[in-house]
Structure 1
Amino acid sequence: MEGKLVGVHKVNVKLADGTTATYYYAWRGKGAPRIMSKPGTKAFTQEYIRLTRDRPTKAVEGTISSLIEDFRATAKYKALAPSTRKDYERMFGLIKEVFGVIPVAAVEARGSRRRFLEWRDTMKDAPRSADMHIGLLSRLFAWAKDNEIILRNPLERVEKLHEGSRRDTVWTMEQINTVLTRAAPHIRSVACMALWTMQRQADLLTMPMIAFDGERVSIKQGKTGARVRITAAPDILPILNEAKEAKRQRVLVNSFGQSWTSSGFKASWRKEMAKLGISGVTFHDLRGTAITYAYAHLDRSHEEKIRLIAEISGHSREDAEGIIRRHYLAGQEVIDAISRGTR
């Protein structure tokens, strides 16, 4: 079989017990994936084809593909949160399929903007995804322009297709009470921590026990790198103290007492919300809900409210105010309505 499939690399390895095993790799060299199927079988051939089809190849210099590779090699890109890079890699894969061989010089040419936007519009049935793809392409071109690789970014000031926002997606007190009183303990703890710390899901699930000093929780946010210190509210002290007494590495754990994985939590959360009959809101909306309710109930001036919320959530003051005004509250009348409804 290995003779028929060009490039298959056969290696004989002596094992610890003295026996010899033969391993097959899709090609010779560092990083070559091992073919796990049995040699001489149809599965072996299919696996070889799949592995060689996906084999990374060096991008042609001076093309959009090479531009992407250069951008991915920057320190700023490597500093992105793993989840962000994962999303970018997926989108870059599609971008390279469509535009990879196009010369970088063509990016500046008259008419390129129209071509890129026409491609975006082929995804109009999923407007948010379309906006994310064209936004990433614009970011790539902005980096290239800043580094004098191109003279203009043809995707500056592109209007978004997706017009939705989360301003109306605030958890009701009934929904919050349902989660905090009826949800499974391992789900309830995460929701409670989210409401009282205003932190993102990833930062909550990976929060180490050493972040709690007995009074405050210190968090370095994975997405922004911001460092925040939060006085532990009475509602979350039992969660923190329980984790401390159990000598856990992380504050929050699943039903088996093990650290959460992102996919594991999302699946468990989805099942629990279905069980509780909660729909129309997401875990991410808990962060905005906490900000909304905090703003509505704090007996402070507007400026002081913004400052306190920014300190807890890790947002800049400008971003915190933007969230309140544009995405969650949409005006003083909504603040007043929330205040009346939750007193």
Structure 2
Amino acid sequence: MEGKLVGVHKVKVKLAGGGEATYYYAWRGKGAPRIKAKPGTKAFTQEYVRLTRDRPVNAVSGTIGSLIDEFRSTAKYKALAPNTRKDYERMFGAIRAEYETFPISAIEARGSRKLFLAWRDTMKDAPRSADMHLGLLGRVFAWAKDNETILRNPLERVEHLHEGTRRDEIWSMEQINTLLTKGAPHIRNVAQVALWTMQRQKDLLTMPMIAFDGERVSIKQGKTGARVRVRAAPDIVPILRDAKENGRQRVLVNSFGQNWTSSGFKSSWRKEMARLKITGVTFHDLRGTAITYAYAHLDRSHDEKIKLIAEISGHSAEEADAIIRRHYLAGEEVIDAISRGTK
């Protein structure tokens, strides 16, 4: 394992008792930290990544390392939420440990896909994490292909190791009706806005009152920086108007009329789901549920459905690459389609 990690320095030393030991350092030179985990183990790689994560790296031109540096310097990457970039930097550390000096020209070569998949499979004990690492590498390749740095992305249409799928976690109409008719008002309001705008929990809880202009809601997604404008569906107009009339800073508030905190909402949501006896689905699944119902009820071709839904959700048609659309105006037809699906 240690031989594949770029820069690992191996030193053999003689012990005072006459024996010999081998020490491993994260890099060569004075001040280099020693890697104490057992060589050839996952812990060894993780410690190497942790020790080298914040060390400046001068990537060799024409390598995956340099490609990652270019990707990280783009405006789109810098616009990502800090927590998202933190997660990406952690995964980039593992990718660089394996492929820092891998030539860009070899990315397109026949057999490269098999090589990258084999690397992913070394992390199969944590399938979701393995998929995320390969997905991020694939995203870099997709960006490079768009820029014509490479002409073929070997990681297109890769099947996931992780078997979980959001398609199996869709709220039933009975569950939605229970929540919207019997749920506590402060919880019900958040769910209503989630269903009609298809936005993430954090973006909903922090949505400022000024986002509503009387007809449409303007949203900047914290995770991606994407901007969408959503026509306010009739079901959420009363919620928006109430917030405006009461002079609140945010659209959604807790039972005390105060701004939600992330932990406060999660606790309240968990208790309300237990009271309503709603199980098997999460708040996050409301987003996928809204998209699923809209897709099922839109009388359009597949491509047209995806485009219309993307106008509200902020997603792009290229779900595999997780590229988010920006500056879209919500279509009237999607709101109507969701209306038909939830009646």
| TM-score, with length taken from structure 2 | 0.62
> What amino acid maps onto 2:101 in structure 1?
P
Report the counterpart of residue 28 of structure 1 in structure 2: none
AA aligned to 2:230 is: R
User: Higher relative contact order by CA 8 Å / sep ≥ 6: 1 or 2?
Assistant: 2
Is residue 253 of structure 1 aligned with residue 250 of structure 2?
A: no
Aligned to 2:70: 70
Shift of 1:134: 0.5
Q: Which of 1 and 2 has greater Rg?
A: 1
Write out aligned runs for 1:124-135 (5 A): 124-135=124-135
- Cα pair distance change 1:232/1:105, threshold 3 Å: closer
Q: Distance in 2 between matches of 1:144 and 1:297?
A: 36
Letter in 1 for 2:309: A
Partner of 2:202: 202
Structure 2 unpaired stretches of 5+: 1-49, 320-338
Q: Is the 8 A contact 1:178 1:276 kept in 2?
A: yes
Normalized against structure 1, the TM-score is what? 0.62
- Could you list the per-position Cα deviations for residues 42-62 of structure 1 after superposition, in whole angstroms to 9, with x for gaps in the alignment? xxxxxxxxxx95782111431
Q: 1:166 and 1:89 mapped to 2: Cα distance?
A: 26
Cα pair distance change 1:106/1:179, threshold 3 Å: same
| 1:21-36 equivalent positions in 2, closer than 5 A | none
CA distance in 1, matches of 2:165, 2:125: 17
Contact 1:273 1:279 in 2 (8 A): yes
Alignment of 1:35-184 (within 5 A): 56-62=54-60, 64-96=64-96, 98-99=97-98, 102-105=100-103, 108=106, 113-144=113-144, 153-184=153-184
Q: Is the 8 A contact 1:107 1:154 kept in 2?
A: no
Which amino acid counterpart does residue 188 of structure 2 have in structure 1? Answer: R
CA contact (8 A) 1:108 1:150 kept: no
Query: How many Å separate the matches in 2 of 1:173 and 1:156?
Result: 35
Tell me the distance in 1 between the aligned counterparts of 2:122 and 2:158: 16
SS in 1 for 2:219: strand
Let me know the Cα RMSD of the aligned residues: 4.2
Which residue identity lines up with residue 72 of structure 1 in the other structure? R
Aligned residues: 269
Gaps of 5+ in 1: 1-51, 321-338
Residues 208, 57 of structure 1: alpha-carbon distance in 2 compared, 3 angstrom cutoff: same
- Within 2, Cα distance between the matches of 1:318 and 1:86? 25
SS of equivalent to 2:166? coil
Given that residues 294 and 341 in structure 2 are in contact (C-alpha distance below 8 angstroms), is that contact kept between their aligned partners in structure 1? no
Shift in Å at residue 162 of structure 1? 3.5
Q: Equivalent pairs: percent with the same residue?
A: 67
Matches of 1:68 and 1:218 in 2, distance apart? 32
Give the SS at the match of 2:231.
strand
